[in-house]
Amino acid sequence: MSVALGSTRPLVVTTTPVDDPGDLFARLPETAPYAWVRHGEGLVAWGEAIRLAVPPGPRRFDWARDRLSDLFGEAHVDDDVTAPGSGPVAFGSFTFDPEAHGSVLVVPQTILARRDGRAWLTTVGERRLDAVTPLRTPGRIRYGDGSLTAPEWEHAVARAVRRIRSGHLEKTVLARDLAAVAERPIDVRLLLARLAGRYPECYTFSCAGLVGATPELLVRRTGETIESLVLAGTIPRGADQADDVARGTALFTSEKNRHEHACAVASVREALDPLCAELKIPEEPELLVLSNVQHLASPVSGRLSDGASVLDVVAAMHPTAAVGGTPTGAALGVIRELEGMDRAGYAGPVGWIDARGDGEWGIALRCAQIEGSTARLFAGCGIMGDSDPASELAEAEAKLRVMQYALEG
């Protein structure tokens, strides 16, 4: 565990209403911004009052919940808003693999939020006025192979398909990474602005250098109510409207993609049933059309039965079949054997939690890990028994283009 500040005395937290701030990203200073924004609403933050390195292991979410409960319970809070996301808030990013190091929780020093027609400012400790500087472009971007070359990754897909056909498992998910080096240090604010502008229906996030725009809401908790969005089954957008419609129809009627989606829905149902007094999952998926791809999507809603915090729900749901596979143990074994890389925060939970246990957490997809002038881009694909390695590579490349656009503009 590492704590930047605030470990020896209680936090002093003040939340006050403010006028509509306009573009939330335009208010961010350059240094280490945090964000969770969709359709212009959400939270942005900067500075670090407390930073916690979450120990790896099967109880890491329990550790995070209990540590934050202690910190927030001891805090001196003056909250004139009392809405989800007001008062003390921690942003978090958890690694995909529970045994990997790198999961982190950060309580920012300053949080600016807008939601449901209200806006507020939260400060932890003394209020800081950080200068907002103009956005900087990173200059020319050079790309290189990540952990595997494209042919090597296709070979890994083919091996995974053989495992599935042999009856070893039903589905796995293989990710690949792409290395990028910029001429100048990468301004995370520019990436956030570009992502939010092109993908407003996604959750644009930034936490501890992990930046992206995920379409997949793992869970939103507001009191006893929870919501989730299951995505599994993907096809690139068409060249024109007719092609687009044809591709959407092909996706919706594809036996492979429908089965992949059914596996993901089943894993979410299995995770949420024990926590919920009520759970609603549609019988048929719908099409979610993004600017680069189309997904099969199933919105899920429920009512918690035992007052669990949002991190309890995250712990129950991660990893979903959409990013891990089915059955989970066998799928994770294939991932560790064939993927050839450490996913770090990719496909792990990312989001925020407040002192009431409310919060929003997504699956860190369409993202990159940023450090100085370098970026590591990620994408993944669900692998089934009839998957074609070339088609899966094309799907992964389509998903990688999200962060390539963010870097290049």
Q: What is the CA radius of gyration of the chain?
A: 21
Residue 69 tokens, joined: 């409960």
Residue 34 tokens, joined: 């945090």
Is 216 a residue of the active site?
Answer: yes
Residues written for the chain: 409
Q: How far apart are CA 215 and CA 203, in angstroms?
A: 6
Is 280 a residue of the active site?
Answer: no
Catalytic residue among 48, 171, 260, 339: 171
- The three state secondary structure string of 317-382 is HCCCCCCCEECHHHHHHHHHHHCCCCCCCCCCEEEEEECCCCEEEEECCCEEEEECCEEEEEEEEE
List CB contacts of 287: < 8 A, sequence separation 6 or more.
248, 251, 252, 294, 295, 296, 297
Q: Could you say which DSSP state residue 64 is in?
A: H
Catalytic residue among 30, 154, 216, 339: 216
Beta-carbon count within 10 A of 184 CB: 12
151 by Cβ neighbours in 10 Å (0-12 / 13-18 / 19+) ranks as: exposed
> What is the full DSSP assignment across 168-235?
S-SEEEEEEEEEEEESS---HHHHHHHHHHH-TTSEEEEETTEEEEES-EEEEEETTEEEEEEEEEEE
Query: Active-site positions?
Result: 171, 216
